[in-house]
A and B are shown apart, each in its own frame.
Chain A
Amino acid sequence: MNKRDLLQKLASVRSTERGIVPDQAWVARTRETLLMQVRNSASTAPVRSQRQAKIAVQHFIPEKLMNLLRAPALAMSAVLMAVLGGSIASVNASERSVPGDFLYPIKIASEQTRLALVSDKSDKLKLKTEFVERRVQEIKSIATAVEKKPALLKEAAAGLKRDLDTVKQQLADVNKNELPADAAQAAKLVDQKTEAIVNELKQVKSEISSEAGSSLSEVEAAAVHTGVTAIEVLLQTKNNPDAQSVVSEADVLQSITNKVASLQNTLDITAQKLQSLSSSTTQSTSSSSVPEILMASTTLEQAKTLVSENKLDQVSDKLIEAAKTTAQAEASVNQLAASSTSAIVPIPEPVSETSTTPVVEVPSSTTATTTPP
C-alpha cells in the first residue's frame, strides 16, 4: 500500500466520520450536566478588572505579536522616560534660573507653554502677573549677586518691561471682552501687583550703584504705567452695578493716592541724590541742570489738585506723564553722577536732612516751594 492508497483510505474514513451524528438527547443531557458542574465549580468572586484586562490581552493579542512588540515597547518607554524625565528635571531646574543662565530659555519657554494652555483671558492675565513677579525676583537675584554683570540686569529689566507691557495689553483685552466684574477684579490684581513691583524695584535701586540702577528706572515707570492702566479700568467699571461688589470709589481713590505718593517718593530720592551729588563735587548742579525734576514735580502737583477736586477721570494722564518725567529725571541724575565720578574721585557723603548746602532747589512734597507753570 503506497501513500496514495493510504490517503484514499483516510478520505474514506473521513467520509464515514461525517455521517456519524451523536444522539441529540445525549448531547442535551451532557450539556446540562456539564454546565451545572461549571456553575458549581466556578468561583463566585468577581474577577478584578486588572485580571480581566490581562486575560483579554492573552486571548486577543497573539503571542508572536506580543513578543514582537515587547522589545520596541520597552525601548520606547525607556526613551520616553529619559526624554520626559530629563525634560521635567530641566524645567524644574530652570525655575531658579535668571537671564544669562543656560536654562533660562527653558524657563521662558515653559512659561509660554503654560500661557498657551490657558484659554480664559482673565486666567491668562493672572498667570502673566505671576510671571511678572518672577521677573522682579530675577532682578533681585541679579542685583544681589556681585559677580553678575550690569548687562544682565539690563536684560532682566528689559524682560520685566516686556512682560509689564503684555500685562497692560491683556488687561485692556479683558476690559474689552469680559464682564465688568471680571475686568474690575483683574484690574485690582494688576494694581496691587504693580504697586508691589514698584516698591521692590525701589528697594533694589537703593542697594545698587546709580549706574546699575539706571536700567531699573525705566522699568519702574513701565510698572507705574501699567498700574495706571489698571486704575483707568477701575474708574470705568466702578459705576457698573455688577462690579460694585468688587471695587468701590474709595478703593480707586486709595490706589491713585498710593501712586502719587510713590511717584513723589521717587522724585524725592532723585532730588536728594542730585543734592548729594552737588555737595560732594565741585560741579555746580542745580535743579535747572535737571529740568525733568521740575516738570515731574509740577505734573504731580497737578495730579494732586485733580485728586483733591475729585476729578479722578482726568488724573491718569497726569500720573503717566509724571511717571515718565520722573524716570527721565532719574536717568539724568544718574548720568550726572556717572560723569562726576569719572571726573573726580571724592566719595559722596551720605545726605543728611540737616545739610546746609542749599545749592539745589529741590521740589518735593515736603520741601519744594515751586509753583506750577
Chain B
Amino acid sequence: MNQLVDHYLLYRVRAKRDAEAFGRLYDQYVTSIYRFVYLKVPTREIAEDVTSETFLRFWQAVLDSQDILNIRAYLYRIARNLVVDYYRKQESTEPISGSVTFSDENTSTDHEGELSDRSRHVRLIEARADLQIVLDRIGRLKEDYQDVLKLRLIDGLAFGDIAKIIGKSAGNVRVIYHRALKALDALDPTP
C-alpha cells in the first residue's frame, strides 16, 4: 500500500509538477533516512547535511527521469553512497567500513531531543560500537554476500526491494541471504 502511495506521489511530481507531492515524500522518509545516516556519521550536523543532500539527489534523479522502482530503496542507496563519499572526502584514518564514530562530544548535544539524557547517549555509543562490529564482520565476506546482508540487516529492506537494487529475483536474493548468514557463522570468531 505504501509503495502504491509512493508511486502515486512520484507520478504527481513527474506528470503534474506537484512540489507538494515531493514534500509528502520527504515527510514520509526524512526521519528514517536521518536515523540511517546518523548512526554512520560522527555528528548530528553531518547527518543533517547528508540527509538534505540525499533528498536533493533524489529530486535530481526525478528531473533526469531515472527509473525509480522503489523510492525507499532508492533513497537508502543515495544515503549510503553519500556516507561513503563523506568518508572518502575526509581521507581520515578511519576506513570506509568503520563509519561509526565513538566521539562523545560529537554525538552528544543538548539539542538532541530524546537522546539528550545520559543513558540514551550511552546506548547510542554502544549501538555505534555494535554496528561497527557487525560491519567489520560482514566486510570479511565476499562482495555479493556483503551487499545483500547490508541491505537486509543494516538498511532493513525487504527481499523484493533488494532484488530491484541488485538486479536479481527476490528468490535469488533470499538464497544469497541465507548463504551469507551461513558464511557469517563460519567465519573465524577472532576479529
Contact = CB atoms under 8 A, between A and B. Distances in A.
Nearest to B133: A9
B31 A6 contact: no
B23 A35 contact: yes
Given A34-B26, A59-B7, A59-B10, A19 B59 contact: no
Contacts of B15: 47, 51-52, 55-56
Interface in B95-123: 111, 113-115, 120, 123
A8 to B, nearest CB: 9
Chain A CB within 10 Å — which of B56, B114, B115, B127 has the most? B127
Contacts of B17: 42-44, 46-47
A63 interface: yes
A34 B69 CA distance: 22
Contacts of A12: 126-127, 130
Contact of A35 (B19, B113, B184, B185): B19
Contacts of A1: 133, 137, 189
B1 interface: no
Contacts of B11: 55-56, 59-60
A38 interface: yes
Given A34-B26, A59-B11, A23 B63 contact: no
A18 B130 CA distance: 15
B148 interface: no
B134 interface: yes
Given A34-B59, A42-B19, A20 B34 contact: yes
Given A10-B134, A47-B15, A2 B69 contact: no
Interface residues of A, number: 42
B134 A37 contact: no
A63 B16 CA distance: 22
B3 to A, nearest CB: 10
A37 B56 contact: yes
B176 interface: no
B30 A13 contact: no
B19 A22 contact: no
A30 B22 CA distance: 13
A51 B65 CA distance: 12
Contacts of A51: 15
Interface string B50-73: 011001100100010000010000
B14 interface: yes
Contacts of B124: 16, 19-20
A30 B52 contact: yes
Given A3-B184, A35-B19, A20 B30 contact: no
A63 B68 CA distance: 12
A9 B130 contact: yes
A14 B156 contact: yes
Nearest to B45: A26
B153 A30 contact: no
Contacts of A27: 30-31
A19 B114 contact: yes
B14 A55 contact: yes
Nearest to B184: A3
Contact of A63 (B69, B156, B181): B69
Contact of A6 (B23, B59, B137): B137
B91 interface: no
B144 to A, nearest CB: 18
Contacts of B181: 3
A347 interface: no
A16 B127 contact: yes
Contacts of B39: 13, 16-17, 20
24 contacts: A3-B184, A19-B124, A20-B114, A21-B113, A22-B35, A22-B48, A23-B44, A23-B48, A30-B26, A31-B26, A34-B26, A34-B55, A35-B19, A35-B20, A37-B56, A37-B59, A38-B59, A43-B17, A47-B15, A52-B15, A55-B11, A56-B11, A59-B10, A59-B14
Given A12-B127, A16-B127, A55-B15, 7 more contacts: A6-B184, A14-B156, A16-B39, A16-B126, A44-B17, A47-B16, A56-B15
